[in-house]
Structure formats: structure tokens, C-alpha cells
């Protein structure tokens, strides 16, 4: 029982570990004993997060890569295996987010949504945020006969949210891909699951949720009103599910699942 949540034999790659949720997930994997590769485009933030993990007694290093570039992901994959002495066994796909141009303004017209913005959101969340990294890191996992991929989808992939149409559709596709790949790789030892956070204030959505004086925007207030627990999530509330899904002992028979961490948001129908 004591070893259920221990990740000492794992090498975890967290793409988007430079961000708020991915960064916390990287820390939680480090605290459970995994060697953690913090991956992203922003070296300053990635190195700061890696330092936080090492300061806490873990092992971590920042690797620069763009989730949308197969070449840079593959270079990171090789560099991580050199550094850690073993290939990546846990992949967290936490790069993602919405684009303001792909959000329909209040009273706006769906028919005028720019196709470029739609494609950008699909590229970031579905291609760079799940597909490409799974292709590039997945083969090593298949070869080793063990691996856990954790995609970060969203509540909006389960219940389409007003205005953020491209983001909702892209995250829904991430959930679908998670299930598809889980089935495809089910007998290889590689498990594929998703976490769907509800609402967690972070860089990419802070302006949507809060006014400059810290009060809720109209939308922020609506979200709180719809959340049974009556509050936003805190990034550390993703740690338990992250470690559980990463652990080959704790979640060995779990694949194709989408775990909502949302304060009950998805349970409310009106
Ligand atoms: N915060 C929330 O409430 C919430 C809710 C549901 C889902 N999510 C999802 O969680 C994930 C993390 O989001 P967050 O809220 O921590 O936002 P964030 O903006 O803090 O983190 C996203 C990170 O991804 C990085 N990134 C973006 N494009 C990249 C690329 N092409 N290659 C590599 N890195 C890239 C960004 O630089 C950033 O560091 C995203 O997929 C987001 O859609 C967030």
C-alpha cells in the first residue's frame, strides 16, 4: 500500500510545465519521487519551476520545446532520456489555452468567428496539447511496456461553455482522442487518461474571471454561481489525481478516463 503513490522509477515530462496548472502538476510529480522534465517555451518560468522542485528535494530540469514543433519535442525527448538515464514514462500534456480572437464577444456573431483563430485554438489544444507529444513520447513508452499519458482537457470539453466555442470543441476532441488512444494502446502497458479542470484562475483566463480591482467579472460571477462548492479551484487540488493517474501501481487498470476536478460544476444541470 505504501508504494501505491510513489513514482521513484518514473521520468515525467510535463509540457506546459511553465504554466500555472502544469507547473503545479510538475511539482506534485516531483514530490512523489519522479524525475521531472519541465517543458515549455519560456525558459525563465520553466527554470524557476524546476528550481522549486529541486529546492523541495526533488529532481527536475527545464527543457525548451514547443508543443507544436515535432523537431523540438523529439530533441527534448532525447535530451530528457540522457539527463534522467531512462526514457520518459509519464507524459503530462498541459500546454493549452484559449485565444481571445476565438471567443465570441457578448452579443457577437458565431458566423463571423475567424477561421484562423479557430484553427489556432485547435492546433494548440489538440495538436500541440495532446496529439504530437503523444506520438513523439509514446513510442518510448510502448518499447518499455509502461507509460502514463495525462492530457489536460477541460470542463468545457464536457459541457460546451458559452462564447468559447473553439476551445470547448477542441477540448472535447482532446477527451475523444484520450479515449481513442487508450483503446489503441490498451495492451501495450501505456495508459491514457485526461483530467478536466473546472475553473482555476491562471494567466490565460484571469482577465475573463476578475476585474482589475479583484472583483468577479460578470462571467466570473456566473461561474461561481454555477459551481456547487461556490469557489474557483486551487492548482494544488490537481495534485492527487495527477499522482494517482501517473502511478503504475495506483491506477494500473485505469485507462480512457476523464477525471473532472471542478467543485461539482458538471453535476449541475440548471
Ligand atoms: N485554468 C483553468 O481554469 C483551466 C481549466 C480547464 C483547463 N485548463 C487547461 O489547463 C492547461 C494549463 O492551463 P493554465 O490554466 O495553467 O494556463 P497557463 O497559461 O498558465 O499555462 C499554459 C502553459 O502552456 C504554455 N504553452 C502554450 N503554448 C505552448 C506551446 N505551443 N508549446 C509549449 N508550451 C506552450 C504556455 O506558455 C503556458 O506556460 C491548458 O490546457 C488549459 O486549457 C485550464
Taking only the tens place, the pLDDT of each residue in 38-61 is 999 999 999 999 999 999 999 999
User: Over pLDDT 70: what percentage of the chain?
Assistant: 99
Q: Which of 208, 220, 136, 121 is nearest to 172 (CA)?
A: 121
Residues 161-174: tens digit of each pLDDT: 999 999 999 999 99
Q: Which pLDDT band holds residue 207 (cuts at 50, 70, 90)?
A: confident
Number of domains in the chain: 1
Residue 89 lies in a domain: yes
Residue tagged 461553455 (cell numbers): 161
What is the best residue among 75, 102, 204, 262 to mutate for testing ligand 1's pocket, by most ligand atoms within 8 Å of CB?
204
**Nearest alpha carbon, ligand 1 atom 29:** 95
**Position 270 pLDDT exceeds 70:** no
Residues 132-189: tens digit of each pLDDT: 999 999 999 999 999 999 999 999 999 999 999 999 999 999 999 999 999 999 999 9
Residue 14 phi, psi (nearest 5): -115, 100
Residue 29 lies in a domain: yes
Residue 250 lies in a domain: yes
Chain mean pLDDT for the chain: 96
Strands (E) located in the chain: 11-15, 35-40, 59-64, 90-93, 147-152, 190-197, 258-261
Cell numbers at residue 155, please? 470542463
Q: What is the pLDDT of residue 151?
A: 99
Domain containing 127: what range? 2-198+233-261
Residue 114 lies in a domain: yes
What CATH number does the domain containing 242 carry? 3.40.50.720
Residue 179 lies in a domain: yes
Residue 226 lies in a domain: no
Q: Pick the range with the lowest mean pLDDT from 25-34, 140-149, 198-207, 213-222.
A: 198-207
Residues framing ligand 1 (Cβ under 6 A): 15-16, 18-22, 40-42, 66-68, 94-97, 124, 128-129, 152, 154, 197, 199-200, 202-205
Cell numbers at residue 217, please? 467579472
- Residues 222 and 162 sit within 8 Å (Cβ to Cβ): no
Tell me the Ramachandran region of residue 191: left when phi exceeds 0, alpha when psi lies from -120 to 50, beta otherwise. Answer: beta
Active-site annotation holder among 167, 185, 232, 265 = 167
Residue 266 lies in a domain: no
Amino acid at each position: 500500500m505504501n508504494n501505491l503513490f510513489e513514482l521513484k522509477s518514473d521520468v515525467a515530462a510535463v509540457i506546459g510545465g511553465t504554466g500555472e496548472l502544469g507547473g503545479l502538476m510538475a511539482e506534485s510529480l516531483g514530490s512523489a519521487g519522479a524525475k521531472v522534465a519541465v517543458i515549455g517555451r519560456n525558459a525563465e518560468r520553466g527554470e524557476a519551476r524546476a528550481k522549486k522542485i529541486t529546492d523541495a528535494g526533488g529532481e527536475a530540469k527545464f527543457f525548451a520545446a514547443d508543443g507544436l514543433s515535432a523537431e523540438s519535442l523529439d530533441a527534448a525527448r532525447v535530451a530528457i532520456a540522457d539527463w534522467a538515464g531512462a526514457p520518459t514514462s509519464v507524459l503530462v500534456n498541459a500546454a493549452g489555452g484559449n485565444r481571445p480572437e476565438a471567443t465570441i464577444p457578448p452579443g457577437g456573431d458565431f458566423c463571423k468567428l475567424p477561421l484562423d483563430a479557430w484553427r489556432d485554438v485547435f492546433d494548440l489544444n489538440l495538436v500541440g496539447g495532446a496529439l504530437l507529444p503523444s506520438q513523439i513520447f509514446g513510442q518510448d513508452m510502448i518499447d518499455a511496456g509502461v507509460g502514463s499519458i495525462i492530457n489536460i482537457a477541460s470542463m468545457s470539453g464536457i459541457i460546451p461553455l458559452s462564447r468559447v466555442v473553439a476551445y470547448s470543441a477542441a477540448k472535447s476532441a482532446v477527451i475523444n482522442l484520450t479515449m481513442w488512444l487508450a483503446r489503441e494502446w490498451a495492451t501495450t502497458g501505456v495508459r491514457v487518461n485526461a483530467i478536466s479542470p473546472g475553473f482555476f484562475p491562471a494567466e490565460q483566463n484571469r482577465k475573463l474571471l476578475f476585474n482589475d480591482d479583484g472583483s468577479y467579472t460578470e462571467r466570473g460571477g456566473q461561474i461561481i454561481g454555477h459551481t456547487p462548492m461556490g469557489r474557483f479551484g486551487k492548482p494544488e487540488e490537481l495534485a492527487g489525481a495527477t499522482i494517482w493517474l501517473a502511478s503504475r501501481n495506483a491506477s494500473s487498470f485505469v485507462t480512457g478516463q476523464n477525471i473532472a476536478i471542478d467543485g461539482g460544476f458538471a453535476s449541475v444541470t440548471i
